[in-house]
Amino acid sequence: MTAYLKRFGVYLPARVVTNDEIGKLAGCEAAWIQQVSGIEERRWAGERESVADMAVEAALRCLGAMPVTELGLIVFAGGSAERRFPGPAATVAHRLGHDSTPAIDLPMASAGSLFALDLARRLAPQYGNILVVAAEKMSSVILREPVDRSTAILFGDGAGACLVSADSAGAIGEVVDSAVSTDGAYAEDLRLGFGGPLEMNGRSVILQASRKIPRAIGALLERNGRTAAEVGVFLMHQANQNLIVRVAQALEVPPERFFSNIARYGNTSSASMLIAAEEYCATRPPRPGTPIVLAAFGAGFHWGALLAVAQ
């Protein structure tokens, strides 16, 4: 059961929202936002720009000139879709020119793209080429009244995509292993009801994430005879810069080994890990043989990690 990460694609809205701007809406200082989150600015989608719109743009940049007939499955991940059903997957598939290719929705916040990659690497031998795409329009969520400064300052909009394939030609990396977990005991600590505001118990989220992510990464590496010190880069869900540093400390590796772009994009929920992966691979192509770890944690709680080796 071999699968490869072939290409990434990203779409980020044009509008840049600074800490000064969001601070005025949330009633807090720009410097405080940067201090507690590491975020300096984020992108917001246009009023008429949908989750599916952003997903299609990221998908096109990922797929390039790939013929429609060569894509066997589409998996969409995200927790901020505009309606209950159908989910964005069907719309994305249609707009990419697919009239019979199966398309699946994973309505998951923050960890959705990791779970989608885990699913795709297991199904690649059957479906060949699988498009994983994650998109979030969190601006439409955080501006719901009453505006909560603890969440409004964190989130941005964007989309990321990854082509997972059974074919190794031109691959960025081979997926060696992955593991995902869920603990519903904390489901009420981070939730979004239909039409209501985002509700988050920040202390619980940070505490559980700072425990569960390092354990998941450590267990995955140990299972595959690797150590954290060997990993060339950790591509983690961009939730909070302080959390990223905590995870690095728990694994006893320099925080610089964790690629971070949260300062420019904020927390784009399920899209963030793929956005980070695309930006890293585009600017710092990993050396062949280098271990790469992708990891995420999100509402549910859902979390996990994926180990790949650069080709």
Q: H/E element holding 165? A: strand 157-165
Which tokens go with 225? 């005879």
User: Which listed CATH number (3.40.47.10, 3.40.50.2300, 3.30.470.20, 3.30.365.10) goes with 173-310?
Assistant: 3.40.47.10
Same fold for the pair 3-165 and 173-310: yes
pTM of the model: 0.97
Tell me the pLDDT tens digit for each residue of 188-232. Answer: 999 999 888 999 999 999 999 999 999 999 999 999 999 999 999
Whether pLDDT at 235 is above 80: yes
Whether pLDDT at 1 is above 80: no
The arithmetic mean of pLDDT across residues 25-41, rounded, is 96
Residue in the block written with tokens 């072939």: 6
* Phi, psi torsion values for 227, nearest 5 degrees: -120, 160
**pLDDT attached to residue 284:** 93
The domain segmentation of the chain, as residue ranges, is 3-165, 173-310
What span, in angstroms and rounded, lies between the C-alpha atoms of 300 and 92? Answer: 25
121-135, 140-154, 266-280: range with lowest mean pLDDT = 140-154
**Alpha carbon of 258 to those of 39, 126, 226, 235: distances in Å?**
16, 33, 17, 6
Tell me the pLDDT tens digit for each residue of 261-293. Answer: 999 999 999 999 999 999 999 999 999 999 999
**pLDDT attached to residue 223:** 98
**Burial (CB count within 10 angstroms: exposed 0-12, middle 13-18, buried 19+), residue 288:** exposed
User: Which listed CATH number (3.40.47.10, 2.40.50.140, 3.20.20.100, 1.10.3720.10) goes with 3-165?
Assistant: 3.40.47.10
- Band of residue 83 on the pLDDT scale cut at 50, 70, 90: very high
**pLDDT attached to residue 147:** 87
Tell me the pLDDT tens digit for each residue of 90-114. Answer: 999 999 999 999 999 999 999 999 9
Residues 6+ apart with CB under 8 A from 153: 19, 22, 23, 26, 28, 33, 36, 37, 39
Q: H/E element holding 304? A: strand 302-310
